[in-house]
Structure formats: structure tokens, C-alpha cells
Amino acid sequence: GVEYKIGKKIGEGSFGIVYEGRMLSEGNWVPVAFKFEKRNPSCPQLRDDFRKYTILKGCPGIPSAYYFGEYHLHNILIMDLLGPSLEVLFTKGGRKFSLKTVVSLARQMLCIVKNVHEKALIYCDIKPDNFLIGRQSSECA
């Protein structure tokens, strides 16, 4: 079976709590995020997210989701651990990006949105907080 190790809490909000951790895959420990939400049958956000990540599997710029299930009174989603959001990077950089950075980011973001739309999904919450920097290069770069 697959082995997981949960680490420290890295985020929290109305959606739930996110922990960093590791997953043993093919002999290597891979960084992953553990997302927990209280079970709510009328609005299972993480189940819906897992379904969408499954549809988008292999698309450049989209993280992989490895597991969805129930743990005690929570739903849990295990997926790739990503870096900071564009909003965090923008703020850390004095709220300025160079023109070269803006053009590069725009190309990558448009490529990702195009790939999502080609899978017949519509993403309605496009904002800097929702674009996270990956830990590896993508074909949309």
C-alpha cells in the first residue's frame, strides 16, 4: 500500500485545514498536501475538487490528486504540494512584477485556463490567490 506522513499545518480557512506531508511513491518520498474539510453532504467541496482533478489529470499546470476519502468526521484530499500563490509573491515583491514576469505568467495562466476549458470545465474564481506556483516546470511555461 501507499504510506503517508502528515507534517505541519500550512493553511486554514472557511474551507478547512491544509497540512503539508509526504507520500511514499515508488521508493521515494514525494511532497503532498493533505486537505481536510468537515463532512457536509450538501456541499462536499473536496469530493468535487477530486473529480475535477481526475478529469484534468495530465494537463500541464494542474496538480495531481492522489486520494479522496473520509477520515473520522472529515473528508480528506491528498494532492501535490504547491508553492506560494501569485498574490503572496506579488506582495513579497513590493506589489510589482517586471513586464517579462507579467507576460510569462499571463501566457502560463491562459494556457492552463484553455486546458481546463478543453476538458469542458469552467473555472469561475480566477484571481492571484488561486494560482499557486508549482514545484516543477510545466509544459505551459
Range of the domain at 38: 3-80
Active site residues per annotation: 125
Give the torsion through C-alpha atoms of 94, 98, 103, 106, to 10 deg: 0
Buried b (16+ CB within 10 A) or exposed e, 120-130: eeeeeeeeeee
Query: Does position 116 have pLDDT exceeding 90, yes or no?
Result: yes
- Give the global pTM: 0.90
Q: Distance (Å, rounded) from C-alpha 115 to C-alpha 61?
A: 9
Give bridge partners of residue 17 from the DSSP assignment: 12, 36
Is there a single domain that holds both residue 75 and residue 90?
no
Residue 92 located in a structural domain: yes
pLDDT digits (tens, 9 = 90+) for 72-113: 999 999 999 999 999 999 999 999 999 999 999 999 999 999
Residue 24 located in a structural domain: yes
Give bridge partners of residue 30 from the DSSP assignment: 23
| Residue-averaged pLDDT of the chain | 93
pLDDT of residue 137: 60
13: domain CATH number? 3.30.200.20
Residue 107 located in a structural domain: yes
The total of structural domains in the chain comes to: 2
